[in-house]
Chain A
Amino acid sequence: MTELERALVALGNELDFPEAPDLWPGVAGRLQRRRRLRPLVVAIALAALAVGVAFAVPPARSAILKFFHVGSVSVERVQTLPPARTQPFATGLGPPRTSPTLKLPAGLRATRYYKGPGMAAALLRYRGRQLLYARLTGDQMGFAKKFVGPTTHVEEVRLGEWGIWFDGGTHVLQWEFGSVQTRLAGNVLLWLDQGVTFRLEGPLDKVRMLALARQITR
């Protein structure tokens, strides 16, 4: 490298570059804009239908559009997600159990099991990915809570009595078993079948997640 080239490198090191902004929120918003419009309308309509009776009083109507529940899991759409970070799937589920806490379909392997009041869960290996499968009994709302941001894609799916698929922008999950534990969550399938709430989370696309869910609750 010549002296002039070294001088150019030195000049580059001292240039006043503006700080790079976080581009992801803008990028994510644009990626999701078209995808989320229709399913969101469906989800909001279903949400309104599902909780409409409970919230029939006029002052509560505005809340219906922002809040619904699938079995034991409450879902709230918010403009800004509460603070949370990526944590292991099992965060908040208590210590792992050595013996099975729920029944798995043939061919599915669990690496850990968890149990709490009204909750049984397992960490699964499925198609080389780690997934969290949880089964929630009881119908109390707020057993687990999801905060869904503007970039989260929310879509109704045909599964059990009612199923909802979440992907796109991350959302925030709060388990409320004893102490409240909050973490970021990715792709999630949530469905209600015969009074039991089922939840699958992990890096699978919708088609694969639905296939697995149908194995679980067929």
Chain B
Amino acid sequence: MVGRPLDEPELIRRAQRGDTHAYEELVHAYQGIAFRTAYVIARNAGDAEEAAQDGFVKAWRALGRFREGAPFRPWLLRIVANEASNRRRSAGRRASLAVRAATEEPSGGAAPSPEAALLSAEQRAALLAAVDTLPDEQRDVVALRYFLDLSEEDVAETLGIPRGTVKSRTARALERLRESYD
């Protein structure tokens, strides 16, 4: 392939016609967010990798049903999130996210970022522990919305729930977390 980089709609159109090179570009563009989405849901790197890979394979098979002009990322993430949820259910475990990097002091005496300065190491640990105690449905919303910085709309699409449900789950989760944070 030569010339200017292809835009996403063109890559999708080509992939829909069976062009695996175009799909390869889409996989490379989205594998980071797909893996992270799977990871915050499955909470295990191995499961996340499998879920993301399965998600991309299933997305390829479902490309024919992808509606032209629709946003690709949330459509893909929904498939990946579903795979990750299935793995979490089958694993029957409840693993935690880690903040190893966050508990270390910045190297080279660099000043912490304004966001990092918001939280002490103890607060980070306490807040993460509190997130871990949330029911899965609330924890997923919090993780996607705040840890992965997805929009409310994208969270709704990714989890396959109405936007109003995202709002209500977020509100309930924040209410519970506020008790630990304050």
Q: A211 in the interface, Cβ–Cβ < 8 Å?
A: no
- Assess the B102–A23 pair: CB atoms within 8 A: no
Q: Is A218 among interface residues, defined by CB-CB distance under 8 A?
A: no
Residues of B within 8 A of A54 (CB): none
Which interface class (under 10, 10 to 19, 20 to 34, 35 or more) fits A? 35 or more
A89, B2: Cα distance in complex, Å: 7
B22 to chain A: which residues have CB within 8 Å?
Answer: 203
Is A186 a contact of B21 with CB atoms below 8 Å?
yes
Choose, from B51-59, B67-75, B86-94, the stretch at the interface: B51-59
B148's nearest neighbour on chain A, judged by CB, is: A12
Q: Closest CB-CB distance, A212 to chain B, in whole Å?
A: 16
Top 9 A-B residue pairs of the complex, sorted by shortest distance between their CB atoms: A14-B102, A12-B147, A8-B146, A10-B115, A20-B35, A16-B100, A18-B45, A16-B98, A23-B31
A14-B20 in contact (CB<8A): no
Q: 9 A–B contact pairs at CB < 8 A? A: A14-B99, A15-B99, A18-B48, A23-B49, A23-B56, A28-B20, A28-B24, A86-B2, A186-B21
Complex CA gap A27/B20 in Å reads 10
Residues of A close to B149: CB separation below 8 A: 9, 12
Cβ–Cβ < 8 Å partners of A186 in chain B: 1, 21
Once the chains are docked, how many angstroms separate the CA of A169 from the CA of B100? 38
Q: Chain A residues near B115: list those with CB within 8 A.
A: 6, 9-10, 13
Contact indicator per residue, chain A 29-50, by CB within 8 Å of chain B (1) or not (0):
0111000000000000000000
CA distance A18 to B52 in the complex (A): 13
A51 to chain B, nearest CB (A): 28
A103 to B20, CA, bound (A): 31
A182 within 8 A of B: no
- Is B142's beta carbon under 8 Å from chain A? yes
Contact A27 B119 (CB under 8 A): no
Q: Are A170's CB and B21's CB within 8 A?
A: yes
A117 at interface by CB-CB < 8 Å: no
Q: A168 near B: Cβ within 8 Å? A: yes
Docked pose: A37 CA to B100 CA in angstroms? 45
B57 CB contacts on chain A under 8 angstroms? 27, 30-31
Q: Which one, A6, A15, A24, A167, contacts B147 given CB within 8 A?
A: A15
Which residues on the A side are within 8 Å of B36 (C-beta)? 17, 20
Residue contact A7 to B181, C-beta cutoff 8 Å: yes
Partner of A10, one of B2, B45, B119, B142: B119
Residues of B contacting A9 with CB < 8 Å? 115, 146-147, 149
Separation of A111 and B161 alpha carbons in the complex (Å): 51
Is the Cβ of A23 less than 8 Å from the Cβ of B20? Answer: no
Q: Is A176 an interface residue (CB 8 A)?
A: no
State whether the Cβ of A107 lies closer than 8 Å to any Cβ in chain B.
Answer: no
A161 within 8 A of B: no
Is A4 within 8 A of B174, CB to CB?
yes
Q: Digit string of A105-136 for contact with B (CB within 8 Å is 1, else 0)?
A: 00000000000000000000000001000000
Is the beta-carbon distance between B146 and A12 smaller than 8 angstroms? yes
CB nearest to B27 among chain A residues: A24
Contact (A23, B34) CB under 8 Å given A12-B147, A130-B2: yes
Are A14 and B101 in touch, CB under 8 angstroms? yes
Interface centre among A27, A130, A186 (most CB of B within 10 A): A27
Min distance, Cβ B17 to any Cβ of chain A, angstroms: 6
Confirm or deny: A21 has a beta carbon within 8 angstroms of a beta carbon on chain B.
yes
